[in-house]
Amino acid sequence: MQESIRERYSRQIRFTPIGADGQSQLMKKRVLIVGAGALGTGNAEILARAGVGRLIIVDRDYVEFSNLQRQLLYTEEDAERRLPKAVALKQRLSEINSEVTVDAHIADATAYELEQLAADTDLIIDATDNFETRYIINDVSQKIGVPWIYGACAGSYGLSFMIVPGQTPCLRCLLEDIPIGGATCDTVGIIAPAVHMVVAHQTAEALKWLTGNHDALGNRLVSFDVWTNQFSALRVEQMKKTDCPSCGEQAVYPHLSRDRATQTAVLCGRDTVQIRPPRRQEWDLARLAKRLYTLDGAVEINPYLISYTTGKHRMVFFRDGRVLVHGTSDPAEAKSLYHRLMG
């Protein structure tokens, strides 16, 4: 190992479980980070500073002023320019550690995209804001045999769990189906300490895995609330299901098929995108309206639908689960708005 490299990472090398051998391993590893928001920037910065050889970042969004409260590394200039997050993050990481290769992809994290990007990686880190993408990550992970680290936070609450194919339960084992209408940063807000706690758990597990310290992995579903001072670490080995369609004995990876994805259709001439969730459902319109009333925007409700207007967009929620997003003909923009509200 070159002396300049040894000096740069000297404090990390002095940490006995990593040492010089672990540092050498880190510099050869490839990590895919799905999402470049709060969790994505935090994970990317720590892993870049740690000397991971290559970081692959995929994100479909651009920097906004509301991001700056918790999304590390972005600046007011990035928000003014509406710079794509993947691009802005690559620029910052290159300034932090020019020895790390950063591949930035401005793209929606579809099943096709993630299967391509995850090939030949050593680890996938979940930094997304919705369960549809997490289930795709989960199935990609199981299909190609690459572990991933689940992470989520909203309000003052956060949780994390490392999923290792063939060893731990997968996300579908734990949750069975996609939660619809869960808490999101847009609906309940978020404070930065909750983000940093999730990032700390994710990156600690990442460093253990990438340096070969597999015996040190936590193997627990960690959850906490930094505001109410609650913490739990649950053993979940018994939740692994032999008949799980994602990781069981006859796995079929259901979330990699197109019919399990959220369907979008641009309505010709109407500047509107229709969104249909991956499975049919019945909205409780009164409950949904109560939730929307807590947000900035105008809410109208009748026995058949809810209309929610925010900025230039109007979203119409039908009882059968469909949503019309008026004010855009871009499916990616429509899905981003949808997932911000619905998780």
Tokens for 45, please give them: 């910065």
Contact 156, 228 (CB under 8 A): yes
Q: Report, as an integer, the average pLDDT of 130-158.
A: 94
pLDDT of residue 189: 87
CA distances from 7 to 22, 48, 100, 204, 316 (A): 15, 16, 16, 22, 57
The pLDDT tens digits for 213-248 are: 999 999 999 999 999 999 999 999 999 999 999 999
Contact 106, 59 (CB under 8 A): yes
Strand spans (E) along 107-241: 123-126, 148-154, 157-163, 220-225, 230-235
Q: Where are the domains of the chain?
A: 3-256, 262-342
Longest alpha-carbon distance in the chain? 71
pLDDT higher than 60, residue 200:
yes
pLDDT higher than 60, residue 178:
no
CA distances from 17 to 51, 202, 208, 324 (A): 16, 17, 9, 53
Tokens 């994602």 found at = 246
The pLDDT tens digits for 163-176 are: 999 999 999 999 87
- Tell me which residue of 38, 77, 94 sits closest to 61, measured CA to CA: 38
Sequence letter at residue 100 = V
262-342 CATH, one of 1.10.3210, 3.30.310, 1.10.10, 2.60.40: 3.30.310
**At the top level of CATH, which class does the domain 3-256 belong to?**
alpha beta
pLDDT higher than 80, residue 204:
yes
The pLDDT tens digits for 12-50 are: 999 999 999 999 999 999 999 999 999 999 999 999 999
Of 320 and 189, more confident: 189
The pLDDT tens digits for 274-289 are: 787 766 667 788 888 8
pLDDT of residue 116: 94
Angstrom distance (rounded) from CA 192 to CA 154: 10
* Neighbour tally for 176: CB within 10 Å: 11
The least confident of 180-194, 239-253, 310-324 is 180-194
Of 86 and 267, more confident: 86
DSSP 294-317: TSSSEEEE-SSEEEEEETTEEEEE
Angstrom distance (rounded) from CA 228 to CA 246: 35
Backbone angles phi, psi at 127, to 5 degrees: -130, 40
pLDDT of residue 278: 66
Q: What is the mean pLDDT of the chain?
A: 90
The least confident of 88-97, 211-220, 259-268, 307-316 is 259-268
Q: Could you tell me the pLDDT band of residue 182, with boundaries at 50, 70 and 90?
A: low
